[in-house]
Amino acid sequence: MQFQNQTAISTGAASGMGLLLAQCWAAEGGNVLMCDINEAVLMEKAAEINAKGAGRAVGMLCDVRDYAQVCAARDRAVAEFGSIDLMCNFAGGTAVRMLQVDRGQYPEFPDVPIEVFDWGLDVNLRAQMYFDHAVMKQMREQKSGLIINIGSITGEEGDGYGVEYGTAKSGAMYGLTKSVAKAGAPHNVRCVCVSPGPVMTRPAMANMKTLMGRAADPQEIIDLVLFLASDKGQFINGTNILIDGGRNAMNRG
């Protein structure tokens, strides 16, 4: 119960690693505000967490691209639980995949409608900055907190088709994380970026090569986040942690 009486916000929390973080945080006695645009599934998952009787979960419909909704989520977390101790920005995804862009119709980067890339930049970078900005106001008042941005191996590799994804993730990994860490330092607020390589949140990830010959189990990523939030991770700040099974060390030609 190492997170008892502590509060986390997790975005993208109706599925994937956002949901897994919420489940693990609550299992350790913590309270969690779960944000997602899939309200029906979100409420179902929050109810499942609450039925286990450890920490408490509250689901909240939130479009992470809308700053007013982001602030409403922050205020709901404080109203329900009194503090925000951890902010995890899991919402995201490659725009060309998430919006189901037909590569036959749009075969190369300059052919993809700019609106697709606008969506990706908003979800993968602007939304993370929105939540960082919003929760910093609360964390500054309470003189404590940890903000976790989520990067990707694609931020190191680039992507010649889903160009916005590598661009956004690189921005989160370096510029955003270092800057927010500097802004938070006078108030005892840390900011760290966790950047996964391939993770088995969907089958296609098994096709991405790593030095270890496999993709990560999602729990391995969440275990790193929980370590950063625990008493043992308190000296880690202002940096990007690549958890990629050695993919970035490979000579991929």
CA separation for the pair 93, 136 (Å, rounded): 24
Distance in angstroms (rounded) separating the CA atoms of residues 71 and 135? 8
Active-site amino acid positions: 165
Q: Give strand pairing partners of 240.
A: 193
Angle between helix 127-142 and helix 67-81 axes, rounded to 10 deg: 30
Q: Distance between CA 114 and CA 108 in Å, rounded?
A: 12
CA distances from 206 to 53, 213, 248 (A): 35, 9, 16
Q: Return the sign of the alpha-carbon dihedral for residues 170, 176, 182, 188.
A: negative
CB count, 10 Å around CB of 49? 23
Instruction: Name the residue type at position 228.
Output: L
CA distance 199 to 223: 13
| Cα gap 74→142, rounded to integer Å | 14
Positive/negative CA dihedral, 36, 23, 230, 153: negative
Give the end-to-end CA distance of the chain in Å, rounded to a whole number.
Answer: 46
User: What is the DSSP-derived secondary structure letter of residue 159?
Assistant: -
